[in-house]
Amino acid sequence: MTLFSAVTLAPRDPILGLNEAFNSDPRRGKINLGVGVYFDEGGRIPLLQATCKAQQSLLATPAAPGYLPIDGLPAYNQCVQHLLFGEKSELLQAQRVVTCQALGGTGALKIGADFLKTLLPDAVVAISDPSWENHRALFGGAGFKVQGYRYYDAQSQGVDLAGMLEDLRALPPRSIVLLHACCHNPTGVDLDADDWQVLISLIKERDLVPFLDMAYQGFAQGIYEDAEVVRLLAGSGLTFLLASSFSKSFSLYGERIGALSLVCASSGEAERVRSQIKRVIRGNYSNPPIHGAALVSTVLGSAELSALWQQELTQMRGRICAMRQMLAARLGEQVSGRDFSFITRQRGMFSYSGLSAQQVDRLRDEFAIYAVGSGRICMAALNHSNLEQVVSAIAKVL
């Protein structure tokens, strides 16, 4: 009997496991629509010009990487706040927002979850059905009971707002509600501004704790437009948490760069909250890495690089929209009697294609096309060279 002899083999992560399977598939012409990464028309993860230029300017003045403060690079945290809340935000002026650099959006969620556990040890965490797979693992891992609320309506291929509100209304007060700020993963289906207002009223009435997850700012309509929900919540007087990420919008996946922001009732409260968040970080990984924060703050701190970045982000968004239009149009031509316009209504990187688990298996086994078992396909993995192959395979399995 060794210490580890009773350890069982954990199941593969549904999405990263898919990647492993894809990488070991020897078939030529294989296509990976599984992973949530933006690829350019050439099928590569883009190195943005804005970050490239920031890199060059950082290299021009090399410095030894000393430790960052526990809550991260101050200039970075300030840039994040401006992007999320707006430079002229009253909340920022009143110093009611705590923002801490985090290890990607995932790290921000984890710090937020650990902190909430100290405040609300018995709270339920409600996540949308369906949601990003890691939400359940993350909040479950932090010790919370996690349950789903109705969100996606397969019939209308939209949000089941009535079901969502009913489920949230039934939660005990002080339950934590995880909400996707935009570009819902995996469905691509978002609430509109009116829906958010109704939801915010319910959150207030039922004393729920909103935790926004914003991993795709800029991929729905634009940086400013996609932060509308942040402004709505900020204007509502609620206190809330917000996990944000630059993995996608800056194409900096491996740098693990994101942030956790907490909107507090006063600057005094914010100071106390920051001190506790720092304790959580200190006990987890002490302090965050420098490079991603330096790149992002160099870009956002320069009007010229910032404009270049916004242009590049607009291009990424535009390419995804073009792929949506083409996929919907070509499927419409190939498969008679079906309406594929839902693909163009969905937002962000993904399309909830409606493919069943069996159809996804057939795509993989017969056509070397990989998608997530739920039918989620990554629109940003499509390009002019592989689209026809995907269309004809989907048409065959439908």
Enumerate binding residues for ligand PMP (CB under 6 A): 36, 104-106, 132, 180, 185, 213, 215, 245, 247, 258
Per-residue CA distances from 123 to 115, 120, 129, 140, 173 (Å): 12, 5, 19, 11, 9
CA distance 257 to 79: 13
The answer to whether 309 is a known catalytic residue is no
Q: Which is nearer to ligand PMP, 104 or 375 (CB)?
A: 104
Verify cis geometry, omega within 30 degrees of 0, for the bond prior to 186: yes
**CA 18 and chain centroid, separation:** 19
The answer to whether 132 is a known catalytic residue is yes
Quote the tokens at residue 94. 């009143």
Q: Which is nearer to ligand PMP, 99 or 185 (CB)?
A: 185
CA distance 167 to 153: 14
Q: Which residue is nearest to ligand PMP (CB)?
A: 104
CA distance 288 to 114: 17
CB of 283 to ligand PMP, least distance (A): 20
Q: Which is nearer to ligand PMP, 343 or 380 (CB)?
A: 380
CB of 20 to ligand PMP, least distance (A): 17
The answer to whether 248 is a known catalytic residue is yes
Torsional sign, CA 372, 373, 376, 377: positive
Residue whose structure tokens are 């490079």: 291
Q: Which position among 132, 167, 196, 309 bears the catalytic label?
A: 132
Name the DSSP letter for residue 308: H
Q: Which position among 71, 114, 213, 226 bears the catalytic label?
A: 213
Q: Which is nearer to ligand PMP, 22 or 132 (CB)?
A: 132
CB of 135 to ligand PMP, least distance (A): 7
Verify cis geometry, omega within 30 degrees of 0, for the bond prior to 289: no
CB of 15 to ligand PMP, least distance (A): 8
Q: Which is nearer to ligand PMP, 105 or 188 (CB)?
A: 105
CB of 93 to ligand PMP, least distance (A): 28
Query: Annotated active-site positions, please?
Result: 132, 213, 248
